[in-house]
Structure 1
């Protein structure tokens, strides 16, 4: 991404998180990015195109960061734990992006369908690590798609918990609790 696109990317996320998709305007995004409206339209034809761009780029950045961290792990269960930690860290570090994603998951507009497709690709990515952990005997063999959705949903819930209870727990503690509940359940 060049400097202008980075600025537009970051500004659009901020504007969408504050104003919502429907309330955000191209003028507001251009102003927040510190670019002329013509410059914004040079790079993006519409607000929908900007939204699509921030989802694509945001999800790419998440995947890149996860892969960087997971390269250092040689054990599939440690990879799952690292994946959880990275996803939660990314939510904390990019609260506005998370807010935009959560606000646009429902509905039938093209942007919402595209967002759900991006989430599905991410869940497929989680499935790969679950399959590896199953093959290594660290977790029992089961419906990996459902497990991946469960992990994703649990991570989203943990992120909401952390956002509401900010600074009350550290991320390592949250990930340890999360992995304990996922791997061992909550049954007494």
Structure 2
């Protein structure tokens, strides 16, 4: 991502998270980025194009880290634990981005349908590990797709907790507590899992 696109990326996240998709304008994004309106239009023809760009780039950051974990030789439970850590660290590091994604998951407009497909692709990576763990008898048999969505959803819920609380949160405590809760939901005793990722 070049310098100008990075400015647009950061500005658009701020404006979309503060004003919502409907309230955000190209003028606001350009002004906040310190760019001439013409420069913004040179890179992006519309607000929707900018929205798709920030979603694509933001989710790619997350997905790249998850793919790295998938390419390691550790077991499926350990991979799920690492994915928990990655997703939670990402959600707390990019809170405004998370707000945008959550606000646009519902609806029937094209950008919303495309966003759901991108999220679905990410959740598939979680599904892979749940399926392997199930095949190896590490997780009780069940609906793999539903479990993957529940896994993803429980991690998102902890980010909502942070956004509502006024007091400063301890990220490491949140991560540990959420991992434990999420794994327990899959029938895995977190204390009994041996992993070495700290």
Relative to the length of structure 1, the TM-score reads: 0.89
Contact kept, 8 Å, 2:139 with 2:186, in 1: the verdict is no
Cα distance in structure 1, aligned partners of 2:141 and 2:97 = 34
Contact kept, 8 Å, 1:127 with 1:145, in 2: the verdict is yes
Contact kept, 8 Å, 1:105 with 1:116, in 2: the verdict is yes
Report the number of matched residues. 186
Offset at 1:78? 1.3
Listed one character per residue, the Cα deviations across residues 110-152 of structure 1 (whole Å, up to 9, x for unaligned) are 1111111111111112111211222333212321100011111
Contact kept, 8 Å, 1:69 with 1:82, in 2: the verdict is yes
Offset at 1:180? 3.0
Out of 86-95 and 69-78, give the one that drifted further.
69-78
Which residue of structure 1 aligns with residue 31 of structure 2? 31
Q: Secondary structure at the match of 2:21?
A: helix
Cα distance in structure 2, aligned partners of 1:158 and 1:24 = 27
Cα distance in structure 2, aligned partners of 1:61 and 1:186 = 26
Cα distance in structure 2, aligned partners of 1:168 and 1:98 = 17
Listed one character per residue, the Cα deviations across residues 84-129 of structure 1 (whole Å, up to 9, x for unaligned) are 1111111110011001111111111111111111111111121112
Contact kept, 8 Å, 2:106 with 2:112, in 1: the verdict is yes
What is the correspondence of 1:64-103 to structure 2 with a 5 Å cutoff? 64-69=64-69, 71=71, 74-103=74-103
Relative to the length of structure 2, the TM-score reads: 0.85
Return closer, same or farther for 1:33/1:23 CA change in 2, 3 Å cut-off. Answer: same
Which residue of structure 1 aligns with residue 141 of structure 2? 141
Which residue of structure 2 aligns with residue 44 of structure 1? 44
Which residue of structure 1 aligns with residue 13 of structure 2? 13
Which residue of structure 2 aligns with residue 167 of structure 1? 168
Segments of 5+ residues of structure 2 without an aligned counterpart are: 188-198
Q: CA RMSD, aligned part only?
A: 2.1
Offset at 1:38? 1.0
Offset at 1:44? 0.6
